[in-house]
Amino acid sequence: MLTSPSSVPRLVVAAPSSGSGKTTVATGLMAALTARGLAVSPHKVGPDYIDPGYHSLATGRTGRNLDAYLCGPELVGPLFAHGARGCDIAVVEGVMGMFDGAAGEGELASTAHVAKLLRAPVVLVVDASSQSRSVAALVHGFASWDPEVRIGGVILNKVASDRHEELLREALDSAGVPVLGVLRRVARVDTPSRHLGLVPVAERRASAVDSVAAMAEQVSRGCDLEALVALARSAGVLSGAAWDAAEALASSLPPLVSSPAPPLPVPSSLGAAPPDPRIRPEGPRPRTPDGLEGAGRGHKVTVAVAGGPAFTFSYAEHAELLGAAGAEVVVFDPLRDERLPEGTAGLVIGGGFPEVYAAELSSNEALRKEVAALAESGAPVAAECAGLLYLCRELDGQPLCGVLDATARMSERLTLGYRDAVAVSDSVLAVAGTRMRGHEFHRTVVEPGSGTAPAWGVLAPRRVEGFVERGVHASYLHTHWASEPGVARRFVERCRTS
């Protein structure tokens, strides 16, 4: 029987650290429950785009992120309920170690934080490959660290033998946390990785299907599915309504706080820093952060969204917000399509791995010229990370769109972390002064790192970055538009008027 989003059974799959097997267990559990005829709602804590692709493959439903830093704690429950509509059960894969969150922000955006916001029990996945009795101390520590987090069971991963399992179970008898599964190391469950984590599903569809099937088989064989479902049913009822794109657009307001904020890192050549929206103004404030009223009241416009193996990073809510604002969203593949969709009025190019496909992207000269012409016309173009690289003159020596007077190259240095940012320049996404939170995750460098009109002033580490030129907004920052729905409305309105 289908349940309401606020009461859908749910559990969070967490671990003491990265590499413990969360993705194997969470994805395998999703697939195993789906195979039993349940409608499973898949979710991922944090900003990661890759794991939700595997979740989607396992469940046949859109994988969705729950990020308390990018969207704010107050949206975690509503966004969860939105994704869980019509489902029998929800499985939430955690991020990193269970208590690891945004750096310097305490529990914010950690798996434990999200579990508390969802009133969900936690299943702790423990890599038991190099321990026996010590597992009890580890589990006891995690179970007692925060009394508001309820660890309802343990799944032991990478268990070597029957004797090893016996020792582990014996030790955990005294910890008061039941063992809900034991998984042996199975090589064919491993999924290939590279410089930014797992290889996305879109790049290895056939082999990814096999990997997910292997995960499901291992979880079905090694875990007590009935006990896991029973644990999920013990989750508390969530208060509040499910998130809705149209309602979010209609009610969006700029974020305001009364405390002063540090000055923005804006070069003196750009003049004074824009007003900081964290400071409550004395006079009337705009209805929305984009300065526009209403949502989706004009004629429909076509917004092309880059997809395919090279551009796999996108939050589902972005397309939903664009649609609610009055756009017809059409996905195209820059690796294969030589033309933009018919009637394209605006272009969104999200994240992905253009560095892996630089030669193929470069060889599609017809599309590169269309993208350049669209940008030259002043049409709205929003590009994040991979999209930023695609708009550069070249990437690792391969000619690309040439929209931006910048070059991109691979780097050995990983840039990773949450960012607090403020729009420096008016753009197709936001008025100057709009504050948003973002996330960076790349091993590339763009030179120069910003244009005459930068996109964002980043508060830590302090710098400006990105480009605002004509209708182009290009930046390394990944943002979640559910936190500022006016971004989508402003973009669609600019599509109508450009």
Known catalytic residues are 385
Bridge partner list, 40: 89
Rounded CA-CA distance 369/375 in Å is 10
Contacts of 35 (CB under 8 A, 6+ apart): 216, 220
- DSSP assignment string, 60-120: SS--EEE-TTTS-HHHHHHHHHHHTTT-SEEEEE--SSTT--STTSTTTTSHHHHHHHHT-
Rounded CA-CA distance 411/383 in Å is 20
Rounded CA-CA distance 77/233 in Å is 17
Parallel, antiparallel, or unpaired for β 301-306 and 327-332? parallel
Rounded CA-CA distance 398/231 in Å is 52
Cα Rg, the chain, nearest whole Å: 23
Rounded CA-CA distance 496/491 in Å is 9
Cα 470 to Cα 182, 289, 498: the distances in Å are 57, 20, 10
Q: Is 337 helix (H, G, I), strand (E, B) or coil?
A: coil
